[in-house]
Amino acid sequence: MFMQRGEGAYLYDVEGRSYIDYVGAWGPMIVGHAHPSVLEKIKSTVDQGICFGTPHPLETEMAEKLCQLVPSLEKVRLVNSGTEAAMSAIRLARGVTARDRIIKFAGCYHGHADALLVQAGSGALTHGVPSSPGIPASTVEHTEIAQYNNAGEVQEIFADRGDQIAAIIVEPIAGNMGCVLPDPGFLEALRDCCDRYGSLLIFDEVMTGFRVGPGGAQQRFGITPDLTVLGKVIGGGLPVGAFGGRAEIMEQLAPLGPVYQAGTLSGNPVTMAAGLATLNLIEQDGFYEALGDGAARLVQGLREQAGAHDVSFEAVEATGMFGIFFTSGDPVRCYADVQACRAEDYQLFFHHMLKQGVYLAPSSYEAGFLSSAHTQQEIDRTVEAAGIAFDAVRRENQ
């Protein structure tokens, strides 16, 4: 599908068909497409030149805003993608701890840096390639995989070789295998392991940052990671990433410290403009309440329609994101549970929704996203379309 234009909650393809958009460019478009104040800020910034390779006031403004909004951030470094941010955070964690091993969770995606592309969620999962050709085995030999929501497994790894673990990296709400919430106590257990063994806890909030609340998942769950990785929303739709954390850790980065990191286009004024305009909008009173109300209405409506059509189904929401699962009936808590869902039913559902002008992610391993431009009207139309799509799924399975 080729899209030509976006406005608010809608995308328009090259043939002029319109779609209610639940992909949101895979996360950034939390205020909807072509928001006037975002476009205006981009245009007025572009008029003064695009990129200078020096510090720029907007970059500092962005850094200050991120540190003000995200609880664990004392210092932050802007980069150009979530991939770059996660990769750099890992390098920093390894540099600071002088250890090599990292723990990641099956189904969590942290961008496509080699060491992190192991059982990596979304695109990688859909295509059935847990890791990718082109990655030497030696590159991932220090990457340990655990199951999401399995604290016991992590504790065992730590008991065996905790003194070798530089960091745990985790999506505090997993959004690259649908939308999977952490069990109560799971993130606390990770924090505890890191504290006991001198390892760093890295929250990858590229997706959840500014989507599940103004301070991300760490604020929602009241857990302070050592490092936080950001992206998506903070660029307002332009290429961006960021990572930050405690000052004493961040000061180990070049040029203050020995851990190298740099980027020609990092913190460029145009991206900062788009990001800041977006963050200004999300700071308005009631923004997340409205977003969460919309998600709750959508998820509730989908559940009711699935029930009415006898389709075994589960929907999960976390304020600005949601996951839908064609389950066997058991709750979805980890990657193995997601794999056990009926992918063919999701495909059928997806195509029936698309035909009715509702654009969901084409893969059941992706989370869905709402924006502040999605009103009750769009949500109710989506739920209505879902009734027809669920009916098609039921008939196919008879």
The residue from 21, 204, 337, 345 that is catalytic is 204
Q: Residue 231 interacts with ligand PLP (CB under 6 A)?
A: yes
Is residue 86 at the binding interface for ligand PLP, with CB under 6 A as the rule? yes
The answer to whether 102 contacts ligand PLP (rule: CB under 6 A) is no
For residue 120, the minimal CB distance to ligand PLP (Å) is 9
User: Does the annotation count 10 as an active-site position?
Assistant: no
- Interacting stretch for ligand PLP, rule CB under 6 A, among 48-56, 76-84, 184-192, 323-331? 76-84
For the question of residue 109 being annotated catalytic, the response is yes
Question: In 3D, which of 79, 136, 111 has the Cα closest to residue 260?
Answer: 79
Q: Residue for token digits 């924090």?
A: 191
Q: Which is nearer to ligand PLP, 219 or 356 (CB)?
A: 219
Among 10, 109, 148, 287, binds ligand PLP (CB under 6 A): 109
Window 163-182: residues binding ligand PLP (CB under 6 A): 171, 175-176
Chain-centroid distance of CA 33 in Å reads 18
C-beta of residue 298 within 8 angstroms of C-beta of residue 322 = yes
**43 is an active site residue:** no
Single out the residue of 205, 117, 195 nearest to residue 155, CA to CA: 195
Does the protein bind ligand PLP through residue 226 (CB under 6 A)?
Answer: no
Among 45, 72, 81, 147, binds ligand PLP (CB under 6 A): 81
Count CB neighbours of 153 within 10 A: 16
Pick from 56, 49, 116, 123: nearest CA to 89 = 116
Q: Is 322 in the site for ligand PLP (CB under 6 A)?
A: no
Q: Which of 82, 172, 178, 323 binds ligand PLP (CB under 6 A)?
A: 82
| 32 touching ligand PLP, by CB under 6 A | no
Q: Quick one: which segment of 106-114, 162-170, 283-291, 328-336 binds ligand PLP (CB under 6 A)?
A: 106-114
Cα separations in angstroms, 161 against 99, 132, 154, 374: 11, 27, 11, 48
Number of residues that bind ligand PLP (CB under 6 A): 15
Q: Check: CB of residue 88 under 8 Å from CB of residue 113.
A: no
CB-CB contact of 78 with 266 (8 Å): yes
Instruction: Tell me the C-alpha distance between 42 and 83, whole Å.
Output: 24
Choose the catalytic residue: 41, 65, 104, 232: 232
176 alpha-carbon distance from chain centroid: 7
The residues that are catalytic are 109, 204, 232
